[in-house]
């Protein structure tokens, strides 16, 4: 018996492609949320150290041992955010992350406020996706209506336009002959009924 059969070395690396895109979007967005919360905690600690340094005049920051991760969102809120993340199309995942980072940089939130900011960015993205889907739906409806209405206009008309008829009078012919022009508008072609 071969030793390689005991180990999973022979497995194909198709595991990544077998994952559901929605799951990947949820995982990516929630990972971004966790990272932003950690960054907000780090900035909060730095602000506290600066305040202590200014207040006491001495830096004891090297003695302080901070917990690795002190703030965490509640399980109920996490489930709500994950549910909101499932509504984000994979093509919008990158723009949502970029918008979330811009909002964090703009507002400089406390760790508790990061999840609310994330929720507002997800709601904004979901509304934008919904508007675009409605616009596409209206465009599809408009295109199908136009196709049917254009098909109705392909009927054969009895009246024909004959712009190159020999008996069409022009202003220059009337001037050359010295006759009064008829009351017809000269720029219009002549219409005749074909029976």
Per-residue pLDDT of the chain (195 residues; tens, 9 = 90+): 555 555 555 555 555 557 799 999 999 999 999 999 999 999 988 888 888 888 887 776 666 666 665 788 999 999 999 999 999 999 999 999 999 999 999 999 999 999 999 999 999 999 999 999 999 999 888 887 766 555 555 555 555 555 555 555 665 655 556 655 555 555 666 666 665
* pLDDT recorded at residue 127: 94
pLDDT in tens, 66-113: 666 578 899 999 999 999 999 999 999 999 999 999 999 999 999 999
Which residues have C-beta within 8 Å of that of residue 127, sequence separation ≥ 6?
none
* pLDDT recorded at residue 55: 82
* pLDDT recorded at residue 100: 96
Alpha-carbon Rg for the chain in angstroms: 37
pTM beyond 0.75: no
């Amino acid at each position: 018996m071969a030793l390689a059969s005991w180990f999973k070395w022979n497995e194909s690396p198709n595991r990544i492609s077998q994952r559901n895109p929605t799951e990947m979007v949820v995982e990516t967005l929630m990972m971004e949320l966790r990272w932003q919360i950690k960054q907000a905690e780090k900035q909060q600690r730095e602000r506290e150290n600066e305040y202590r340094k200014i207040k006491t005049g001495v830096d004891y920051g090297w003695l302080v041992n901070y917990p690795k991760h002190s703030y965490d969102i509640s399980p109920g809120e996490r489930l709500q955010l994950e549910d909101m993340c499932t509504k984000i199309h994979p093509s919008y995942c990158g723009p949502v992350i970029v918008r979330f980072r811009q909002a964090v940089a703009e507002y400089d939130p406390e760790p508790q406020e990061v999840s609310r900011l994330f929720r507002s960015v997800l709601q904004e993205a979901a509304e934008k996706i919904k508007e675009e889907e409605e616009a596409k739906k209206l465009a599809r409806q408009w295109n199908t209506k136009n196709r049917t209405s254009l098909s109705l206009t392909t009927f054969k008309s009895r009246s024909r336009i004959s712009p190159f008829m020999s008996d069409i009078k022009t202003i220059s012919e009337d001037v050359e002959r010295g006759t009064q022009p008829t009351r017809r508008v000269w720029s219009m072609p002549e219409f005749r009924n074909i029976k």
